[in-house]
């Protein structure tokens, strides 16, 4: 299997492997990345994920002519030594144990240690660069020890790393989505230095959710655009909630109030503010967590949620409605991913670009 594509590779083409690939937000950003020197590009080589629907979505949109390059398997059972050779690696390792919304078990959780499979692939295949993605809460898990351990292992694998908390709304993404992304350049490649791309070139882009959902209007036959049936109670409740408000900040009549003890999550029945980026799109949650339209008394469709994640309308998600919701919520915004991949390509092509200082210390 390792012989795939050998002998045909162009010198400035990076063959990308992905662990925990999700539905393809990172991949779409990678394969659509384009810089001034067109000889520098990223192509899909292989990907793996444990979820069948997610793999089917990835194949359908990223590599329909090469379905066998996507491995549907638990990473803990996958034989990493038999994967094709790669020049680059991307891995958005599962964030369940690092999210500020969850219990923050960090390394003690089921998902926390899964980053180590990315480290194994780095040691096995020695790609020229990698991109790792997780939630900002990773920095605080296990009192900061988890983050320090991950940084140390990535460095010891032989990479110069640049961790940065990206606020994607600053890059034109119509969603307040903050993600920790670590870019690593193999330490023996001395003439390539990655720098965090500046958000300045994207400051004038319209990143409001109104623009994202209405320009252009979503076609009636667009995939994944089925509406969720709302109960009469939910419709009545939403009519009292103004744009930007949620079920706890709105002035609701007694019969429509939520009787919740303890923590009150601000996104419960929260309506979008049409003149601002959306709040973070999530992949799971019960009643009141689906993201609600600013004007119509309803939850967003999956197609609308995908637009907030900057997937094109031609990107079709496969699986049940709830499975699609989960896939969209776990993805990295395509536009944000593409900007970072283009910065990596420019770094290798020696093409200057506007940059800023990383906001997270590299030292551990």
Residues with catalytic annotation?
A: 95
Percentages helix, strand, coil for the chain (3-state, rounded to 5) are 35, 15, 50
**Which residue shows structure tokens 């500046």?**
198
**Strand pairing partners for 60?**
none
The answer to whether 57 and 22 have CB atoms below 8 angstroms apart is no
Q: How far apart are CA 309 and CA 279, in angstroms?
A: 11
Coil, strand or helix at 90: strand
**β-strand pairing of 129-135 with 88-91:** parallel
Q: Which residues contact 283 (CB under 8 A, 6 or more apart)?
A: 325, 326, 327, 328, 329, 330
Pair type for strands 196-197 and 355-356: antiparallel
Contacts of 24 (CB under 8 A, 6+ apart): 57, 58, 61, 62, 315, 331
The encoded tokens of residue 51 equal: 């979820």
Distances (CA, A) of 339 to 130, 168, 215: 15, 10, 21
Alpha-carbon distance of 256 to 352, in angstroms, equals: 56
- Which residues fall within 8 angstroms of residue 346, CB to CB, at 6 or more apart? 35, 36, 40, 352, 353
Q: What is the 3-state secondary structure (H, E, C) of 270-318?
A: CECCCCCCECCCCCCCCCCCCCECCCCCCECCHHHHHHHCCCCCCCCCC
């Amino acid at each position: 299997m390792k012989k795939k594509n050998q002998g045909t590779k162009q010198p400035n083409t990076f063959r990308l492997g992905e662990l925990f690939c999700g539905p393809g937000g990172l991949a779409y950003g990678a394969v659509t990345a384009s810089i001034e020197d067109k000889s520098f590009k990223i192509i899909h080589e292989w990907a793996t994920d444990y979820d069948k629907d997610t793999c089917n979505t990835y194949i359908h949109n990223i590599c329909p002519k090469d379905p066998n390059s996507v491995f549907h398997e638990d990473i803990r059972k996958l034989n990493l030594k038999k994967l094709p050779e790669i020049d680059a690696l991307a891995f958005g390792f599962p964030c369940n144990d690092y999210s500020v919304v969850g219990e923050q078990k960090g390394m003690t959780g089921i998902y926390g240690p899964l980053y180590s499979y990315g480290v194994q692939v780095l040691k096995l295949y020695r790609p020229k660069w990698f991109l790792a993605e997780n939630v900002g809460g990773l920095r605080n898990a296990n009192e900061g020890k988890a983050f320090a351990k991950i940084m140390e292992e990535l460095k010891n694998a032989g990479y110069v790393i640049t961790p940065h908390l990206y606020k994607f709304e600053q890059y034109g993404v119509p969603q307040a989505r903050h993600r920790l992304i670590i870019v690593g350049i193999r330490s023996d490649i001395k003439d390539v230095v990655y720098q965090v791309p500046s958000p300045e070139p994207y400051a004038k882009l319209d990143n409001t959710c109104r623009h994202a959902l209405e320009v252009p209007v979503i076609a009636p036959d667009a995939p994944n655009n089925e509406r969720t049936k709302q109960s009469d109670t939910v419709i009545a409740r939403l009519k009292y909630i103004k744009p930007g408000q949620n079920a706890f900040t709105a002035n609701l009549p007694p019969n429509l109030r939520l009787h919740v003890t303890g923590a009150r999550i601000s996104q419960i029945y929260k309506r979008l503010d049409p003149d601002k980026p959306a709040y973070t799109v999530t992949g799971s949650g019960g009643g009141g967590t689906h993201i609600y339209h600013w004007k119509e008394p309803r939850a967003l469709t999956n197609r609308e949620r995908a637009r907030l994640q900057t997937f094109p309308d031609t990107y079709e998600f496969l699986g049940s409605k709830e499975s699609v919701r989960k896939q969209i919520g776990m993805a990295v915004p395509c536009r944000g991913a593409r900007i970072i991949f283009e910065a990596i390509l420019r770094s290798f092509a020696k093409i200057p670009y506007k940059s800023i200082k990383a906001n997270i210390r590299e030292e551990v």
